[in-house]
Structures are given as C-alpha cells and as structure tokens.
Chains A and B, each alone.
Chain A
Amino acid sequence: MTSARPKIDFDAKIPNNVDLASDRKLQRALERWQPNFLDWWGDMGPAVDTKDVYLRTAVDVGREGWAHFDHVPMNEYRWGVFLSEHDPDRKIAFGEHKGEPVWQEVPGEYRADLQRLIVIQGDTEPASVEQQRFLGATAPSLYDMRNLFQVNVEEGRHLWAMVYLLHAYFGRAGREEADQLLARNSGSDDSPRILGAFNEETPDWLSFYMFTYFTDRDGKYQLGTLKESGFDPLSRTCEFMLKEEAHHMFVGTTGIDRVVTRTAQLMNEHDSEEVAGAGGIPLEMIQKYINFHYTVSLDLFGNESSTNAANYFTAGLKGRWQEERRKDDHVLTDDAGAVDAVRDGRITTTEVPALLALNQDLRSEYMGDCSNGLKRWNRILQKHGIDAQLYLPHVGFNRQVGAFAGQRISPDGKMISEEEWTANEGRWLPTDVDKTHVRGLMHPVLEPGKIASWIAPPTNGINDKPVDFEYVHFN
C-alpha cells in the first residue's frame, strides 16, 4: 500500500535515539500518528496565542547537555523519542524472572499487562495538558507562563514516549491504543481519561502548583516503578522521563514556596492572618488546597491490597520504588506486610502477604517524599516569624479509593460521624467561596519581570536567564 503523503524527514523533525530513520515500522506508525497528534495539540493544547516560548528541548540522553534551550513556536516544538542509555548486562531485578536478562521484546505472555500499564501511564500525560489548557491566560508572570508551557510540551513528549512503545512493540493493537490516547479527553462525557483525577479541570494557578507538586509526584513514583521493569524499553523510557519530571515538580515546589512567601509577607505587612482582602491567599486556604490535592493523589495509588500489583511484580513488569537498593530477596513470596484497614470503627492495619501490599508500599514512599515540601514551606513561615504551620492530613482523610473509602476521617486521623464531617468539611477542603477567591486573583501579568499580587517572584530565572527575561513572545 502506498501513501500519497509527503515523506517526513524523521530525524530532523523528531529528535531521537531509537534509529527512527531506518525503522520502517515506526516510521509508518508515526507518519499516521504525528498529524493526529498535531491536531490534538492544536485543539487541546495551550489556548494562549503566542509567537514563541523559551523552551528546553530534549536532544540527547547524555549526562551533560541533554537539553537545548531556545525560543520556539510551540507548534514547531520538536517532540522527540528518547530512551536512557542501553545497559547490555541489565538483569531483571525482582519477581519470578529475577536474574534473567531483561527483555528487549514484549513477552507474549505479558503483552496484555504491559500494554495496559503503558496505556494507563500514557493516558495521564496528555490529560494534564488538557486540564491546564486555559491556565496560560491567567499566568502570574511570563516566567510562570513559560514554565506551564514547558510542562505542557514535556507531557506531550511523555505521551510520545508511551506511543513510541506502543508503536514499536505492540503491533496493530498498540497502534490502536495509541490512537485512543488522543481520542480520550480530560473531562469528556463520552470518552473521559482513564483515571478520575485527570478529568478535573485545573482552574487556577494555585491548583496548578498543587497538581505539579502532588499529582506529578504520583507520576514520578509510577515511573519509578516502571523504570524497574524487566521490559527494557519501558524501563529506559521511564528513566529518561524522570529527568524531565524533576522540573515539573520543581515548578510545583517553588510555586507553592512563592505563594507561601507572599502570604507570609502580607500577614506581616497587615499583621493579620486575613490576607484575602489584601490580594493574597490565606494560609488556611493553602492548607485546604493541600488537603484536597494530596488526598486525591493518594487515591491514584489504588487499593492498599492489590493482586494486580502483585502479579505485575511477580511477572517482572513493575517493581518497587528503588527496587535494587532494597535489602530483601526481591521475590517476596515468603514475606508479609501490613496494610491500612478500618475494623470495628477503628483505624488499624491488617497483615497480608507482602506481594499484596505493594501499592501501600509505594504510597508510603510517596507520602514520605511529600512531607519534604511541608518542611520547606514551614521553614519559610518560620523565617517570616510566623508560628502557624502547614501539614499533611492523615492518610485516611477524604479518600475515595481503598480501605478508607466511604469512611469519615478528620485531617488529624480521627474517625468521625457524618454530622461532624458535614459541619467541618468547609474548614478542611476548599469551599466555593475559597475557589472563587483564588480564581478572582487570577489576572495575567504579561510584562517581563512583573508579578501578580498573590505570589512572590522567583529567586532565579530559567537556564541562567534573568527573572525579567522575555520568556514568551506574543504575536
């Protein structure tokens, strides 16, 4: 079958280290997929009309200089395909295939499971772009707008990375799944994104920072477990994605830093916690946003006790966080683990085989990581002489998935009645009034170096550029 479409110069258009120029299978798949991707980007990507944006583009995988910075029109962004460097001696580190060489092809036995894992991961990447589509219009600075777009193009590239795996290793079924990744859309009634959390619009910049801090961090942990996979191309893809993901979390961490800083400044200026009237976001409101985004992200880890996770582990498809640094047999058939449970109206734990407790294991790692941010933000408050503290709510608070789903648990971890919940919900989670206030603060600031009232300026610019650099050009 021949196609009338002009040939794409793959290496020029698509930076890669997978020898795209000589891979007919990939070329054919991408020839069809790439135009659809560009259409999707046009329809669902950032809605702000820009001329070009100061973006980093992945151009290599080496330790030094893997990325290139320049002003580029966003629809000419070169979404590349990169796998981290190949280790010919790599062995499967866990499960029943432990010690065997990693797979360079999909083992037919695990095709369905691997495809599912990749599709679920792949579905989240474009979802966040869709969720953040309108945020650019209210960016608090050009610096922030640029960061948003940087995150967006890289989530687009993460989609490419997953699509690459589907195209290269899963045959026709993989191509069909790759098409579906563009056909599902965040918040769509007909064909929503697979995971619930990715169907909520990101309505304001506080939510965006929270999302990149908490929800992107879930992505980091999922990628971390897939990086351990016995399917080497998946492992290498995820390892490289983690490099980019670090910047996304940096955007979240420093974003919240700056909101807290600004709030602390306003509290001191007005000698009051009530900074809403002064164009700030009160600490209490920040806490509510933390409560919400943290707990929604906890749900993404699934049930405490999971046979799927156990099967993935045993099969060698998905390991644990830092699998190779762990000091156990990496097979876990004889070990036990404790998972959260609610019994007789009390929060407790149940002992289950360790293999079944892997979701909880990953969630615990994640929770530990999240608490670092809280320490940072509380140090900022301290430096400003403020005694109040931000905190992470109890793991059982506001949960929709797993052992705590359907339970009423306060942020400090007490089982409470439905009445008590209803009476206090507005103190713990963002209310409509809160959301309206935050949204009311969202006015674009497009002048280089200027910043919105509710957030402090960044301490440094991007890639050693000054903070007042013209990160975005408009038409």
Chain B
Amino acid sequence: MIISKKDIPGFLDKLISEYQVFAPVQEGSFTLFKPISSGTNADLTAANTKLPAKEIFFPQSEKLFSYNATEEGVKVEEVLDEQKKVIFGVRPCDARSLVLLDNVFDNDKFQDPYYLTKRANTIMIGIGCNTPLSTCFCTSVNGSPFDTKGLDLLLVDIGDAYVVEVVSDKGKSLAEQAGLAAATDADKAAAAKIKETATITCQVNTDGLKEKLDTNFYWPIWDRIHEKCLGCGACTYLCPTCHCFDIVDDAKDCNGCRVRNWDSCAFPIFTLHGSGHNPRTSNKERYRQRIMHKFKYFVDNFNEIACVGCGRCINNCPVNLDIRAVLEDVRGSEARLDS
C-alpha cells in the first residue's frame, strides 16, 4: 500500500477521531512523542526522538491507584489507561525495545496490567530510517533500519510518498479502513532500493562479550571504565530498554496515590538498604550493573541483549562515556591488568 506525504495529516486526523494518537512533535531543538490534536503536528523529518517511545507504555511517573480514607472506610481506585492508541512514526529500534520490554512486564512470574493494557490497545506505525545517524548501531544488536519487529505497519519514505508495509493483522485492518491505495511495482521497487541504500556506518562487535561478562565481574576492567561517569540518570532515562522503577506514595494525610517512577542503577540510593547498608558502594559497581544488566543478565533471563543500538546514551552523556567504547574495552578485558 502507499500513502502520499500530503495525505498524512488527513490520515492522522481521521485516526485522531478514534484513537489517542502519538507522534514526534518538535520541542525546541529536539522531538518528543506527544499526543497530537491535529495531523499537521507530526514531525517525521527528525531522527530519533529525545525520549524513547517506551515512555508511552511505561511513563516516567505513572499513577497506579489512588486512595482516600474517610470515616466511612477506605476507597481505592485503580488508574488504568485503557484508551486506544496509535503511535505514529516510531523508529524500528524503539519498536523493538518494546518487544524486549514485554519480557519484563509479561512473563510466567509477573503480568503487569498497566503496561500490558496499553500494549494491547496500541497500534504501532513505524517509519524506516533512510539516513541512520552515525551513532546508530541497531544492526549490531539484532535490529535494522527497516526492522518490523514490534510494528503493525512500516512506512518506507520514497520521496513524495510512503510505501506502507503491512506487518500484522491489526495493521492490515487499519490500513484497509483508511482506504490506502495499492502500491505500484515501481513504488515497491523504489522502497526496496531505499532499504538497500540506507547504511549503518557504526558497528559494535558483540562476539564473545557475553562470555567475558560471565567471568569478569571481579576483574580490574571495572576499576577504570566508569571513572569519568558522573552517576546521573541521563543514559538510563533516555534508554528505550532501561526499565527499573521505584514505587512511592504521593500522599497528603490519608489521601493520595501510589506512583511508579523510573529509577536508575546509576543513583547511589538505588540499592540503599533500610539498614543503611549499600551493596553497590561506588560508581564502579553501579556502572558495572548497567553493562551487566544489558549484556549479561538480560541475556541470561530472556536470551536477548537489552540494547537496541539507538545511540541516545552516546549522544546525551554529559561526559561522552560511549557505550561502544566500553563494550570494546570489556571484550578485550583481562583477568589481570598486566597480563
């Protein structure tokens, strides 16, 4: 199927009448996914949004339920977002990150209703990356600029129009409802050509990485690798696969709500026990955890690397602590510094 670029606002406006539609929206010098009220607000020209699309399913601060206690008793009200949603213009790495996060929020031990309800009610319309950034390394971590994992429809930009590839039944019925025209053979050929020419310039070698991490927990590599890290939350909060959270009560007297907030392994209080003991005493242990979690523990648990190569942590780290270089150093690490 195909949709011309000038028809996109109209297409979105129709969706808006039925769904809550999220799209990248210009916010100063970057774009963010925001609910849009008009199809003209969507901005598909910029590369990746500043914050990943995970924010829609797993918001930074999410009210789980509210409560108030009166003389009559306690009233608890669950807050469950059941609105039907469309995410328009999501990049393949962000879409894939949600497939990874599904492992965490939906497994044989836990099913998270807040996340899963939103996932079930959402249609994902992706857009392939004709010009990947120099910091994109999706192809090194099982993704690609036109990967369809986690998507219902994929748009391929062929100049004046997008060739629309149907990925799922959900996507198919949405495209049919919208009455999209069939793509000609020439359009399809143009899309195939675009896919071929889009090049990822950045490769990260992960050969042997997991095996190294299986053994190098106590090796000296960790003594220096974190040294410039400030221990802030920028890389974890901007990462589409980071998913640690903390649960707090925002309450006044007996009225309030329980809120789930993003948390970060980079923060000292992340592992602070009630006793005052902190098993991760310094930045070294915290930074090691970030790497271990993504490239070892997640692999142990779910057989996938918890990084989709979006490059956000590279572009936003205030001290340019580059995960690509870190992984290379980890791969080359030795049990002793002098060996």
Genuine A/B complex: no
Chain A residues in contact with chain B, CB under 8 A? none
